[in-house]
């Protein structure tokens, strides 16, 4: 195996030796083969492999082995948005059965006041890492260092995270700018034992607003994650806790569910929770567009809800749900679930399709739940939404849980200036309200 520094034309037999000898800004080309090493990327380089497949005859395969250490530890970033730290074209795995839950195939490591930025990871596959090793980890030191352990301007493009503990995971750091992009292909996050993406906010009780901001996910497929069958809280294909920033998701397919039945599912499809321990904040500008939720073939255990937005002091920056196909099954909290959201601006749902496959379970009551608005703000669903199989507006009413059903909930309006009441309105606890304004 050879690694060539194309600036000096010197060659090395290990990637780490090439990194150690390089000058910031150099390009290192890694030939096909298997590289049995854990590496530290501690200067700005362009690291180019031969491909992200698992066959070392034609691809660059890095296999780590050191317990509780990432395969690639990135401790330096780029200079600016056009002069970046780049990792391109590798298959990454490890033989170490790690026990540290915040170790990845790739760590972006800002721990101990080491802010890093302008990082690109493209055409990479992190796969089949045993134990608690996740695919990509955004890392800080502890909850007390969130103010200094800052990661910004990260682009992950046309890459795969499969068969790991989590696909992508973040904790104890700030992330200011994260783009997960398909580029010329798609990002695939699949068959991970727990969440596809877990973004975990500050959790020491003091809270931290705007810890995560400016996330863009485009051309992303999440497929059959949560294979462990865990029923713990705070899991999902995408789960973000303490997220109050701007979020733009466009062109995403989520396929979920497990073949082993479980009557108490706690994971979700996509869950964005603005609450952190210590308080809550307004939401940022959030857009969910061109998303499809599907059931995994043969699934008998489904997430609680397909898309959940929870606990924002207001959503006045704007929340739009557009062209989302709620084809999958939300087991107990409906297809679209809103809770604890205040503010004067409505949440806008448009050109979306609700299949009627999801349920809202409240005590002994079990009803179809396409939209469950347990928040305090209005949902404006007047723009060309489809409730598959509903014959009229009264049928739609029986698939929506909102202020007509419970005095403290927010309204859902799908015909401007109209509300509908049926014999099945006023579900448990049977609090009838005379004020629907």
Per residue of the chain (437 residues), give pLDDT as tens.
Answer: 799 999 999 999 999 999 999 999 999 999 999 999 999 999 999 999 999 999 999 999 999 999 999 999 999 999 999 999 999 999 999 999 999 989 999 999 999 999 999 999 999 999 999 999 999 999 999 888 888 999 999 999 999 999 999 999 998 999 999 999 999 999 999 999 999 999 988 755 555 667 899 999 999 999 999 998 887 878 899 999 889 999 999 999 999 998 887 766 678 999 999 876 667 789 999 999 999 999 999 998 899 999 999 999 999 999 999 999 999 999 899 999 999 999 999 999 999 999 999 999 987 678 899 999 999 999 999 999 999 999 999 999 999 999 988 888 999 999 999 989 888 876 554 445 555 55
Reading the block at residue 332, the tokens are: 């107990």
Can you give the pLDDT at residue 203?
58
**CB-based contacts of 412: which residues, under 8 Å, 6+ apart?**
371, 373, 378, 379, 381, 400, 402, 403
State yes or no: cis peptide before 429, omega within 30 of 0.
Answer: yes
User: What number of residues does the chain have?
Assistant: 437
Q: Which residues pair with 86 in a beta bridge?
A: 46, 120
Kindly state the helix (H) or strand (E) to which residue 291 belongs, with its residue range.
strand 286-295
Reading the block at residue 261, the tokens are: 């039945």
Reading the block at residue 429, the tokens are: 């606890």
Which residue has tokens 């030191």?
141
Can you give the pLDDT at residue 260?
81
Q: DSSP of 252-319, one letter per residue? A: EEEEE-BSS--SS---EEEEEE--BTTB------EEEEEEEEEEPTT--B--S-SEEEEEES--TT-E
Q: How far apart are CA 144 and CA 34, in angstroms?
A: 39
Which residue has tokens 């496959």?
357
pTM, 2 dp? 0.96
Q: How far apart are CA 340 and CA 278, in angstroms?
A: 15
Can you give the pLDDT at residue 261?
73
User: What does the domain layout of the chain look like in residue ranges?
Assistant: 34-49+70-413
Can you give the pLDDT at residue 49?
99
Closest CA to 61 of 47, 46, 51, 72: 51
Kindly state the helix (H) or strand (E) to which residue 395 belongs, with its residue range.
helix 393-397
* Assigned fold of 34-49+70-413: Pectate Lyase C-like (2.160.20)
Closest CA to 270 of 239, 295, 241, 296: 239
Closest CA to 165 of 229, 95, 244, 101: 101
**CB-based contacts of 423: which residues, under 8 Å, 6+ apart?**
none
Reading the block at residue 63, the tokens are: 């296999």
Neighbour tally for 151: CB within 10 Å = 26
Reading the block at residue 160, the tokens are: 């795969």
């Amino acid at each position: 195996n050879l690694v060539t520094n194309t600036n000096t034309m010197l060659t090395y037999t290990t990637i780490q030796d090439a990194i150690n000898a390089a000058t910031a800004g150099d390009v290192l080309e890694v030939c096909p083969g298997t590289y049995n090493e854990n590496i530290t990327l501690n200067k700005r380089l362009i690291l180019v492999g031969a491909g992200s497949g698992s066959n070392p005859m034609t691809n660059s395969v890095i296999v780590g082995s050191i317990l509780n250490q990432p395969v690639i530890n990135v401790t330096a970033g780029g200079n600016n948005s056009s002069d970046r730290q780049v990792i391109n074209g590798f298959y990454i795995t490890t033989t170490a059965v790690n026990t540290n839950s915040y170790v990845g195939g790739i760590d972006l490591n800002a721990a101990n006041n080491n802010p890093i930025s302008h990082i690109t990871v493209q055409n990479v596959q992190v796969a089949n890492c045993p134990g608690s090793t996740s695919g990509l980890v955004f890392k800080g030191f502890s909850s007390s260092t969130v103010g200094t352990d800052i990661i910004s301007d990260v682009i992950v493009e046309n890459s795969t995270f499969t068969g790991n503990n989590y696909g992508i995971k973040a904790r104890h750091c700030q992330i200011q700018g994260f783009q997960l992009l398909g580029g010329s292909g798609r990002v695939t996050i699949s068959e991970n034992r727990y969440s596809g993406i877990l973004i975990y906010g500050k959790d020491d009780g003091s809270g931290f607003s705007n810890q995560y901001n400016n996330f863009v996910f485009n051309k992303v497929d999440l497929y059959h994650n949560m294979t462990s069958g865990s029923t713990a809280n705070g899991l999902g294909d995408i789960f973000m806790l303490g997220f109050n920033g701007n979020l733009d998701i466009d062109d995403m397919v989520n396929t979920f569910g497990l073949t082993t039945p479980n009557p108490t599912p706690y994971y979700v499809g996509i869950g964005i929770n603005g609450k952190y321990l210590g308080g809550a904040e307004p939401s940022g500008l959030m857009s969910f567009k061109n998303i499809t939720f599907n059931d995994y073939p043969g699934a008998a255990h489904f997430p609680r809800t397909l898309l959940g937005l929870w606990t924002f002091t207001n959503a006045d920056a704007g929340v739009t749900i557009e062209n989302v196909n709620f084809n999958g099954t939300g087991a107990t909290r409906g297809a679209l679930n809103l809770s604890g959201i205040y503010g004067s601006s409505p949440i806008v749902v448009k050109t979306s399709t609700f299949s009627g496959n999801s349920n809202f379970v409240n005590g002994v009551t079990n009803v179809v739940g396409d939209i469950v608005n347990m928040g305090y703000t209005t949902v404006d669903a007047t723009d060309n939404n489809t409730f598959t199989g509903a014959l009229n507006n009264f049928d739609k009413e029986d698939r929506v849980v909102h202020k007509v059903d419970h005095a403290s909930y927010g309204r859902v309006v799908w015909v401007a200036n109209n509300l509908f009441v049926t014999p099945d309105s006023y579900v448990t606890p049977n609090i009838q309200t005379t004020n629907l304004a």
